[in-house]
């Protein structure tokens, strides 16, 4: 975070001089107000600095273990049976691609069962059923299961399919993933260690270059997928199943209480329950399964809202059990940091309130610069930059240098998403129930692909969009006011907030506008 060297009037003083008694031994009300704002400022950014310091800890663990690549204890003399589960919901554009990839697995056909778990309510159900029947005729052991009630959503579909699972191990793939043919063989031998309950592959990004939004999403996700997951796995800390592109030991799911749908992130919930029962998880950073990133802002928002809200729900459900367990204290502390990380969005919301007093009420003193602004810049801003640059440099064809120009946009997007994700945190804390909103998949990799396909999903109307628009206007006014006062050093920081809310809100508005325009031309389907 930039040092806020603010050009305030000489009568506005922060620190010892501002709190010195006046001749009548009373403090002015204005001084108390400024002191209160400074206290809030320090507390909020101290909290953000804690989350930033945790990123530095992740970086340290990644570098510590970067060469400790997991190896199987042995190899199966005879390959075990695997059930591949494919949870679907209205996946017209990607269903055929997924089934073709799964049936191309280089794995003994007599050891492979495929379950198509379809909750679709549109014409994609007919497509999935027809493709399943065709593959059954080709000799595949494939089971098509269609539900109409959507009870428990994805977790409910996985749970209801468990009685007919034939495999000793269960591989799960979401509809937008395209697993390579050798994937199962590259992962299965890790289960020769009978304590291993899950082996997780890393997500790739097949449409990373589709737009600025998908580029930024890839950078965001790689911080988690390349650094966090690798560091946690190799240090022996709690690791989360990413919901797809992983293989479970069936018994680990059963022993841990099965799939439960009282949270929106059933994968994170089951991960902690399984590890609390003693199962080990292995993360394979170098085994990559390509997947599709949401190419539009509303798809990204719905995905982030679900992940954020679900993680807080799991935190409320699991964290006490973690602390009551026999796991070492360092694992408990890391689990706490992991499960509470999204509370940072509430602190980001607080910064929205603090922007005006930080720029127009507080004075820039050397004490504030040395003891507040510089530590915050290092822990809350520089740590973020190092984190994401390292995640890109750690990939075979990655480059921190090519990523550098995207960092301002990355920081702005994170700020712009604070309303969407902050609302998710508050809803989870207040036990506000909401449905599992799927992330639309379009099966597009390039803009040329998108032009051939009309978007068929209307963006939902939301009060949050109007708040984002209002905040864009608000920060635009603050930028003008700061420039008029000559507070040039605060402009880059205010500019990040302005750009973030403009970008996020305009993405939703343009999606809605394009949908309305296309709706006048051709009939469309609303998901």
Residue 377 has pLDDT above 90, yes or no: no
Phi, psi of 261 (to 5 degrees): -120, 35
The region of weakest confidence among 30-34, 102-106, 167-171, 340-344 is 30-34
List the beta bridge partners of residue 83. 113, 170
Residue 267: active-site member: yes
- Compare 222 and 40 and report the one with higher pLDDT: 222
pLDDT computed for residue 50 by the predictor: 87
> Could you give the percent of the chain with pLDDT greater than 70?
83
pTM, full prediction = 0.88
Phi, psi of 291 (to 5 degrees): -145, 170
pLDDT computed for residue 371 by the predictor: 56
- Compare 309 and 448 and report the one with higher pLDDT: 309
Residue 11 has pLDDT above 50, yes or no: no
CA dist 297 and 509 (Å) reads 9
Q: Are strands 196-205 and 246-249 parallel, antiparallel or unpaired?
A: antiparallel
CA dist 220 and 391 (Å) reads 9
> How far is CA 431 from each of CA 153, 318, 335, 503, rounded to the nearest angstrom?
18, 15, 22, 30
Residue 255: active-site member: no
pLDDT computed for residue 517 by the predictor: 57
Confidence of residue 527 (pLDDT cuts 50, 70, 90): very low
- Compare 140 and 446 and report the one with higher pLDDT: 140
Q: Catalytic pick from 119, 141, 298, 373?
A: 119
pLDDT computed for residue 369 by the predictor: 60
Joined together, the tokens standing for residue 527 give: 């998901």
SS3 of residue 408 by DSSP: helix
Q: How many CB atoms lie under 10 A from the CB of residue 179? A: 24
- Using the Cα atoms of residue 89, residue 214, residue 204 and residue 280 in order, give the sign of their dihedral: negative
Q: How far is CA 116 from the centre of its chain?
A: 26
pLDDT computed for residue 49 by the predictor: 83
SS3 of residue 168 by DSSP: coil
pLDDT computed for residue 518 by the predictor: 55
- Using the Cα atoms of residue 99, residue 103, residue 107 and residue 111 in order, give the sign of their dihedral: positive
Q: How many CB atoms lie under 10 A from the CB of residue 460? A: 15
Residue 10 has pLDDT above 90, yes or no: no
Mean pLDDT, residues 363-387 taken together:
68
Residue 396 has pLDDT above 60, yes or no: yes
SS3 of residue 510 by DSSP: helix
pLDDT computed for residue 440 by the predictor: 75
Which run of H or E residues covers position 452? helix 447-452
pLDDT computed for residue 33 by the predictor: 65
SS3 of residue 17 by DSSP: helix
> Could you give the percent of the chain with pLDDT greater than 90?
68
CA dist 396 and 286 (Å) reads 9
Half-sphere exposure of 442 (CA within 13 A, CB side): 22
Mean pLDDT, residues 431-449 taken together:
75
DSSP string, 262-328: SSS-HHHHHHHHHHHTT-EEEEEEEEEEEEPPP-SHHHHHHHHHHHHHHHHHHHHHHHHHHHHSSS-
pLDDT digits (tens, 9 = 90+) for 291-348: 999 999 999 999 999 999 999 999 999 999 999 999 999 999 999 999 999 999 999 8
pLDDT computed for residue 363 by the predictor: 60
Q: How far is CA 496 from the centre of its chain?
A: 21
Q: Is 70 exposed, middle or buried (0-12, 13-18, 19+ CB in 10 A)?
A: middle
Q: Residue 63's closest CA among 283, 286, 281, 227?
A: 227
Mean pLDDT, residues 458-479 taken together:
85
Q: Residue 18's closest CA among 5, 33, 31?
A: 31
Going from N- to C-terminal start, the domains of the chain cover 79-295
Which run of H or E residues covers position 500? helix 491-521
Backbone Cα Rg of the chain = 25
SS3 of residue 124 by DSSP: helix
Q: How far is CA 37 from the centre of its chain?
A: 32
List the beta bridge partners of residue 169. 82, 249
Average pLDDT score, the chain:
86
Q: Catalytic pick from 118, 141, 174, 267?
A: 267
Cβ proximity of 254 and 227 under 8 Å: no
Q: What angle, 0 to 180 degrees and rounded to 10, lies between the N-to-C axes of helices 418-429 and 463-484?
A: 130
Tell me the residue ranges of DSSP E strands in 129-271.
141-146, 169-172, 196-205, 246-249
Q: Residue 167's closest CA among 141, 145, 190, 144?
A: 141
SS3 of residue 244 by DSSP: coil
Joined together, the tokens standing for residue 154 give: 């994805």
CA dist 390 and 401 (Å) reads 10
CA dist 361 and 498 (Å) reads 20
Residue 63 has pLDDT above 90, yes or no: yes
Sheet holding 196-205, edge to edge: 141-146, 112-118, 82-88, 169-172, 246-249, 196-205, 280-291
pLDDT computed for residue 451 by the predictor: 58
Which CATH code, of 3.40.50.300, 3.50.50.60, 3.20.20.70, 3.90.550.10, is assigned to 79-295? 3.90.550.10
Q: Give the angle subtended at the CA of 174 by the CAs of 342 and 192, to the nearest 5°.
A: 90
pLDDT computed for residue 16 by the predictor: 37
Which run of H or E residues covers position 393? helix 383-393
Confidence of residue 175 (pLDDT cuts 50, 70, 90): very high
Cβ proximity of 231 and 58 under 8 Å: yes
Q: Residue 252's closest CA among 272, 227, 238, 235?
A: 272
CA dist 502 and 496 (Å) reads 10
Residue 2 has pLDDT above 60, yes or no: no
């Amino acid at each position: 975070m930039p040092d806020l060297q603010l050009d305030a009037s000489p009568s506005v003083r922060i620190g010892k001089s501002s709190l010195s008694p006046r001749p009548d031994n009373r403090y002015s009300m204005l001084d108390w107000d400024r002191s209160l704002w400074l206290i809030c400022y320090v507390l909020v950014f101290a909290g953000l600095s804690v989350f930033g310091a945790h990123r530095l800890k992740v970086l340290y663990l990644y570098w510590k273990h970067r060469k400790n690549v997991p190896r199987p204890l042995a190899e199966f003399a005879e390959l075990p049976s695997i059930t591949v589960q494919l949870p679907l919901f209205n996946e017209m554009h990607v269903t055929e691609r997924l089934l073709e990839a799964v049936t191309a697995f280089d794995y003994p056909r007599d050891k492979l069962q495929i379950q198509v778990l379809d909750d679709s309510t549109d014409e994609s159900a007919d497509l999935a059923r027809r493709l399943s029947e065709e593959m059954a005729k080709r000799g595949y052991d494939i089971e098509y299961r269609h539900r109409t009630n959507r009870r428990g959503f994805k977790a409910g579909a996985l749970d209801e399919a468990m009685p007919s699972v034939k495999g000793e191990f269960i591989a799960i793939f979401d509809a937008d993933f395209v697993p390579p043919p050798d994937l199962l063989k590259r992962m299965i031998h890790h289960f020769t260690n009978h304590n291993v309950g899950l082996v997780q592959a890393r997500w790739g990004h097949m449409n990373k270059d589709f737009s600025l939004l998908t580029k930024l999403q890839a950078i965001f996700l790689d911080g988690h997928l390349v650094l966090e997951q690798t560091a946690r796995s190799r240090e022996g800390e709690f690791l989360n199943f990413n919901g797809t592109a992983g293989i479970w030991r069936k018994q680990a799911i059963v022993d841990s209480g099965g799939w439960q749908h009282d949270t929106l992130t059933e994968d994170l919930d089951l991960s902690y329950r399984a590890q609390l029962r003693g199962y080990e998880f292995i993360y394979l950073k170098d085994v990559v399964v390509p997947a599709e990133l949401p190419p539009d802002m509303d798809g990204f928002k719905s995905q982030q809202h679900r992940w954020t809200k679900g993680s807080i729900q799991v935190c409320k459900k699991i964290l006490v059990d973690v602390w009551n367990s026999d796991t070492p204290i360092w694992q408990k502390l890391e689990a706490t940091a992991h499960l509470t990380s999204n509370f940072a969005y509430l602190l980001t919301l607080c910064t929205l309130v603090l922007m005006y007093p930080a720029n127009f009420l507080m004075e820039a003193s050397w004490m504030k610069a040395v003891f507040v602004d510089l530590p915050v810049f290092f822990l809350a801003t520089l740590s973020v930059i190092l984190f994401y640059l390292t995640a890109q440099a750690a990939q075979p064809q990655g480059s921190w240098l090519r990523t550098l120009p995207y960092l301002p946009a990355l920081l702005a997007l994170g700020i712009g998403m604070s309303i969407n994700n902050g609302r998710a945190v508050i809803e989870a804390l207040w036990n506000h129930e909401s449905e599992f909103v799927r992330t639309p998949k379009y099966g597009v990799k390039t803009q040329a692909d998108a032009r051939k396909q009309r978007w068929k999903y209307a963006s939902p109307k939301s009060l949050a969009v109007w708040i984002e628009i209002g905040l864009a206007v608000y920060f635009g006014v603050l930028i003008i006011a700061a420039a008029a006062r000559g507070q040039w050093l605060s402009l880059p920081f205010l500019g990040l907030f302005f750009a973030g809310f403009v970008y996020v809100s305009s993405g939703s508005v343009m999606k809605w506008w394009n949908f309305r325009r296309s709706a006048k031309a051709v009939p469309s389907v609303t998901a």
